[in-house]
């Protein structure tokens, strides 16, 4: 079976990856699971939330993304990230300046999140065309004071912070700058690339969790908000109904997606956070997020699995939400438009 770029299909994870997990230990509260962002490991009366993510594109922002993306996954548990390690793989011919840029970015991101960089590895790796940085973030919480992606129940409400396609918009504005300058002005693309500064959802997640009433959270990365909703539904074994008109799509995302002929809902969305909450707490959570400078909207509700996974279009048509086979970022990057 030949794979498309991006995440390995969930059926392959279940068929192969999840069957080869080493020793079973009683202190592993939550191991590898579909739709889960982090592992949960019991240590005495506390738990560790641990998450790992690779950054394989966006070369100008590698260090920044490596810290923020893995820290996001810890925060979706309602846990403050504390520690970070990295594995930096560089192509042959890389220079000292590249190492310094990556490390400076990691340092800046870690300081903003109050995270300590505690170790890692850095090497020149034969065969690489581009640098790759894999980050691992760790947080600690009292046992029982966290959430996962599997706590959603029918009747709960679904909140989305910031909108869709945040990271994908920034990557395309950065990596395809020369091409996009033929269509958009410099100030538009600078604004779009600066979406990288919105990548963290640590404040989003901790604000919501501390407000109360949060039952599940998920970080929609590859596959965008559409993929994130499906992963959340997989983890909780539920259905959902969301409303297209409630999902914020920025002007920059909308225009760049139109240029590359891709869908905003299927574009990598680090920087967004899906929050499932008790209906009675939803308004308070959205209000508290707004007070902390995080735009958020209620985009739908959780339903029984037999009702499917629906999206209601702006015209009122109700259809099954398409599950992305591959993130539309890869579709865009594979194109060479001459417009």
State how far the Cα of 11 lies from the Cα of 179, in Å rounded to an integer. 37
137 and 234 in a single domain? The answer is no
Question: Which one of 119, 142, 165 terminates a domain?
Answer: 142
**Whether residue 165 is found in the same domain as residue 294:** yes
What is the bridge-based pairing of β-strands 309-312 and 318-320?
antiparallel
**Domain carrying residue 215:** 157-334
Residues 162, 111 within the same domain:
no
Structure tokens at 189: 């693309």
Which of 287, 312, 233, 286 has its CA nearest to residue 34? 233
- Residues 90, 205 within the same domain: no
Q: What is the CATH number for 34?
A: 3.30.1330.10
Q: Clarify whether residues 33 and 63 are in a common domain.
A: yes
Total domains in the chain come to 2
Instruction: Say if residue 168 is in the same domain as residue 297.
Output: yes
72 pLDDT above the threshold of 70? yes
192-240 tens-digit pLDDT: 999 999 999 999 999 999 999 999 999 999 999 999 999 999 999 999 9
The answer, yes or no, to whether residue 18 has pLDDT greater than 60, is: yes
Quote the pLDDT of residue 110.
98
Backbone region of residue 312 per phi and psi (left: phi > 0; alpha: psi in -120 to 50; beta: other values): beta
Q: What is the CATH number of the domain that holds 325?
A: 3.90.650.10
Same domain, 68 and 209: no
Q: Quick one: 122 and 176 in the same domain?
A: no
Return the H-helix or E-strand segment holding 254: helix 251-260
Does 276 map to a domain?
yes
Domain presence at residue 12: no
pLDDT in tens, 107-119: 999 999 999 999 9
- 195 vs 250: CA distance, rounded Å: 10
Q: Is residue 6 part of a domain?
A: no
pLDDT tens readout for residues 140-196: 999 889 999 999 999 999 999 999 999 999 999 998 999 999 999 999 999 999 999
């Amino acid at each position: 079976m030949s794979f498309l770029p991006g995440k390995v299909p969930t059926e392959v994870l279940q068929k192969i990856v999840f069957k080869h997990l080493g020793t079973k230990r009683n202190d592993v509260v939550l191991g590898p699971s579909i739709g889960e962002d982090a592992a949960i490991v019991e240590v005495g009366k506390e738990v560790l939330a641990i998450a790992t993510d690779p950054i394989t594109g966006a070369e100008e922002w590698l260090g920044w993304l490596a810290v923020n993306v893995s820290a996001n996954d810890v925060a979706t548990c309602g846990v403050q990230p504390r520690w970070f390690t990295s594995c930096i793989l560089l192509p042959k011919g890389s220079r000292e300046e590249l190492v310094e840029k990556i490390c400076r970015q990691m340092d800046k991101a870690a300081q903003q999140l109050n995270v300590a960089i505690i170790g890692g590895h850095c090497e020149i790796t034969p065969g690489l065309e581009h640098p790759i940085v894999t980050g691992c973030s760790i947080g600690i919480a009292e046992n029982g004071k966290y959430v996962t992606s599997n706590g959603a129940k029918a009747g709960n409400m679904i909140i989305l912070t910031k909108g869709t396609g945040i990271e994908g918009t920034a990557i395309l504005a950065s990596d395809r700058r020369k091409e996009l300058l033929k269509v958009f002005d410099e100030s538009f693309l600078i604004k779009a690339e600066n979406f990288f500064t919105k990548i963290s959802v640590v404040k989003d997640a901790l604000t919501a969790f501390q407000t109360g009433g949060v039952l599940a959270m998920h970080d929609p990365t590859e596959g965008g908000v559409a993929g994130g909703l499906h992963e959340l539904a997989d983890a909780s074994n539920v259905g959902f109904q969301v409303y297209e008109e409630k999902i914020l799509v920025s002007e920059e995302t909308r225009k760049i997606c139109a240029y590359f002929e891709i869908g905003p809902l299927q574009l990598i969305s680090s920087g967004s956070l899906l929050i499932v909450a008790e209906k009675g707490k939803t308004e308070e959570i959205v209000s508290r997020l707004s007070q902390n400078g995080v735009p958020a909207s209620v985009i739908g509700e959780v339903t029984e699995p037999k009702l499917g996974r629906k999206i209601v279009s702006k015209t009122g048509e109700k259809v099954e939400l398409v599950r992305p086979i591959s993130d539309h970022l890869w579709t865009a990057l594979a194109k060479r438009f001459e417009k």
